[in-house]
Amino acid sequence: MSDAVLLDVADGVATITLNRPDVRNAIDLPTSLAIAECLDEVDERPDIAVAVLTGAGSTFCAGMDLKAFAATQERPIHDRRGAFGIVRQPCEKPLIAAIEGKALGGGLEIALACDLVVAADSSRLGLPEVKRGLVAAAGGVLRLPRRIPQAVAMEMILTGEPLTAEQARGWGLVNRVAPDGQALAIARQLAAAVAANAPLAVRAAKRIALDSADWAADEAFDRQVAYTDPVRSSSDAAEGARAFVEKRAPRWTGS
């Protein structure tokens, strides 16, 4: 795995670190491939329940590495996971963004590919592409109106102006605001709360929440059965019931 992306695993939580602080963690093609490789490993390893994505140094991610693109003409796109190795197909397990500094353009699009967001108090989140004659086509204009009220999303998209961390939390884009320098620590606390739950149930719940966005109302309950029946009949479901009756912490096996 590339040194541009680091993976650390402890207590069921994977920490993925974009490790290019000298270019504000901008993404070139090798880095996008390394991100996709990390997400593959997160999905495949049974000892990982949830992942946290963060950036080294003072910036979460500056989006595409324009200098690298100018030199190579290679866009940072993975053939399956899409731009930046993540935006088209994030990992199946829960993913939490831990943002310090700026998450603008592609940086915010990477955060929007995550399920939960923790942002440091002085961080800024925005899509400034229109200021540069571009469109936030790596998920920005697609996902932002689905995460926050459309009027707010449209103002961000059309003006290119960012939100503060507190504003983003007020509109539901950010789950937790952390003191500067503590976003990763708070994100890991949130990840630990997720990792304490039954892994099959967590993955199925995430999948339903995302896949059901375009389900017809009169079909939704029937369609979720394919996701929920395997969980209901799992060993973990039985263990959860036993642990409740016996007043102890459950011992999940992921089966």
129 among known catalytic residues: yes
* Helices (H) then strands (E): counts for the chain: 11, 11
103 three-state secondary structure: strand
Type of residue found at 144: L
Using the 8-state DSSP alphabet, how is residue 129 labeled? G
Of the candidates 74, 109, 161, 166, the residue annotated as catalytic is 109
Of the candidates 44, 100, 129, 239, the residue annotated as catalytic is 129
| Cα Rg, the chain, nearest whole Å | 19
Exposed e or buried b per residue across 176-214, where buried means at least 16 C-beta atoms within 10 angstroms of its C-beta: bbbeeebbbebbbebbeebbebbbbbbbbbbebeeebee
Listed in order, strand segments (DSSP E) in 105-183 are: 116-120, 124-126, 163-164, 176-178
Distance (Å) of CA 145 to CA 52, 164, 248: 23, 17, 42
109 among known catalytic residues: yes
Asked if residues 104 and 156 have their Cβ atoms less than 8 Å apart, the reply is no
Residues marked active site are found at 109, 129
